[in-house]
Amino acid sequence: MAASSEEPAVAAVTEPKLGTANLSTDTRAAAAGDAADGFGYVGAWAIDAAACGLFDQAGATNFAVITRSTFRDGDKTYFGSFGAMTDGKLSITVRAAQGTRTIELVQTAPDALTVDGNALIRCVE
């Protein structure tokens, strides 16, 4: 009987879990969420469950970290004072040394958010 040269299949990541190594302070704060009415958008968000495990690692993309006063979707953190959503929608204006930016948030479900039209899922610890 000949040995198989096939590699074992790698299991797909199905749970949106954050990696545990070297998470930044804002990621940990955001991941806790915010139970206040209208602040369900506070969280760590990624394009899929596999991306949730890549938070705060070099080269991570397709994510957003949102607190009540910070927004990060890359290597730059933007600051502001964000209010509650109305009818699941919120437009936030954020500032950084590079200038200002307006971001459209739409929460379609407790664990689903669109950021400027990009669909993301909630990542949890």
Domain count, the chain: 1
Q: Which domain holds residue 35?
A: 25-123
Q: Is residue 13 part of a domain?
A: no
Q: Is residue 12 in a domain?
A: no
Q: Is 14 part of any domain?
A: no
Query: Is 82 a member of any domain?
Result: yes
Name which of 57, 58, 61, 107 is nearest 82 in CA terms: 107
Distance CA 50, CA 53 (A): 6
pTM of the model: 0.85
Q: What is the pLDDT of residues 24-54, one digit of tens each?
A: 999 999 999 999 999 999 999 999 999 999 9
* Residues 73-86: tens digit of each pLDDT: 988 899 999 999 99
